[in-house]
Amino acid sequence: MDYLQYIERDPRICGGEPVIKGTRVTLRTLLASLAEGARIEEITADFPTVSAGAVRAVIAFAAASAEEDLPLPAIPDVA
């Protein structure tokens, strides 16, 4: 998924925190809602300017970010 089509970072909007394009809804807010167990349908109802695709983009962004930040375990030497 090309999550960058949904996400922008502008120092004039929310202090430069990443937001859903065209909104002031931060990724941090959406991730907190997901962490609390909210479903995509609930999030889009709470934030009408956010589409289901944008929520999925936030999840994809978080997954890609975590992948970059997590160290890979060493491969065991079995030879």
Q: In tens digits, what is the pLDDT along the chain, a chain of 79 residues?
A: 799 999 999 999 999 999 999 999 999 999 999 999 999 999 999 999 999 999 999 999 999 888 776 666 667 677 6
What does the block give as tokens for 63? 């997954």
pLDDT at 1: 79
User: CA 2, CA 77: separation in Å to the nearest integer?
Assistant: 37
- Return all residues near 5 (Cβ < 8 A) that are at least 6 apart: 21, 57
pLDDT at 65: 86
* CATH 1.10.3720.10 fits domain 3-69: no
pTM of the model: 0.82
7 close to 19: Cβ distance less than 8 angstroms? yes
| Structural domain spans, the chain | 3-69
Count of CB atoms within 10 A of residue 22's CB?
A: 12
